[in-house]
Amino acid sequence: MFRLLALLYGVVCYVVFLATFLYAMVFVAGVGVPKHIDNGIDAPFGVALVIDMVLLGLFAVQHSGMARPGFKRWWTRFVPAPIERSTYVMFSSLALILLFWQWRPIPELLWNVDGPARLVLHAVSLMGWLLVLTGTFVINHFDLFGLRQVWFFARGGAPRDEPFVTRAFYRIVRHPLMLGFLVAFWVTPAMSVGHLLFALATTGYILIAVKFLEERDLVALYGDAYRDYQRRVPMLLPWSKRKVAP
């Protein structure tokens, strides 16, 4: 019964993530929903700035903190290992839902592009989101979001660790998902002060988390294989200079 409940729990966590991801697309784009990055609860500039930064900070702490190996070792003393990833996905989704719900817009525009160029910019931003989504399937989408773990557990087994491999986008940059997010957040026909705050804060978080947390964990996990990958493939920008392996 517990195995079946774990599988059901994993599916629910995945559905919540998927709904949150889809809402994030329209929230950032500012289209299709009444509550988005430039429309919502009014607040004075200083109040909006503080609330939005707290919301972004809460997500950053949760998202990076729960992903660290040390936290996982402690956390799985209380949460069964097969549902640890699903629980992480659920907490991350809830942190984003809180951000969407309580976000205070700062709608003063820095630029606003009209005409055909507006559609082009929306299309490029959408390509960023598609890069994020397809990038998860290039590695292992269902492992990344906890479904693979609960599926194997429900069948009475455990998923094997997968070897370090690079394919498709990962031959061009080491973190194509993060590159996709950056494109999605920055390419917009209407850049408000609130949107700029969101883009700057998330960019800073991505750079810090990738450079000083995720890359360190990957080196610890894969050793020389990942160090060689770092030398050959740029971190985020495809045109940045690659290091030559000695």
Q: Output the furthest CA–CA distance in the chain (Å, rounded).
A: 57
Q: What is the pLDDT of residue 242?
A: 58
| pLDDT tens profile 123-166 | 999 999 999 999 999 999 999 999 999 999 999 887 777 778 88
Residue 72 scores a pLDDT above 70: yes
Residue 245 scores a pLDDT above 50: no
- Average pLDDT of every residue of the chain: 94
Judged by DSSP in three states, 162 sits in coil
CA 167 from centroid of its chain's CA atoms: 20
| pLDDT tens profile 209-241 | 999 999 999 999 999 999 999 999 999 999 876
Q: Both tokens of residue 75?
A: 């956390």
Residue 244 scores a pLDDT above 80: no
Q: What is the pLDDT of residue 164?
A: 82
Q: Both tokens of residue 125?
A: 């931003």
More confident residue, 165 or 77: 77
Residue 246 scores a pLDDT above 50: no
Cβ(159)–Cβ(3) below 8 Å:
no
Put simply, whether the predicted model's pTM sits higher than 0.85 gets the answer yes
Between the CA of residue 121 and those of 37, 184, 188, 197, what are the distances in Å?
17, 10, 6, 19
Beta-ladder partners of 111: 191
Between CA 22 and CA 187 the distance in angstroms is 17
Q: What is the pLDDT of residue 243?
A: 52
Q: Both tokens of residue 32?
A: 């299709």
Residues 3-21 as b or e (16 or more Cβ within 10 Å = b): eeebbebbeebbebbeebb
Instruction: pLDDT band for 35, please (50, 70, 90 cuts).
Output: very high
Domains of the chain, residue spans: 2-232
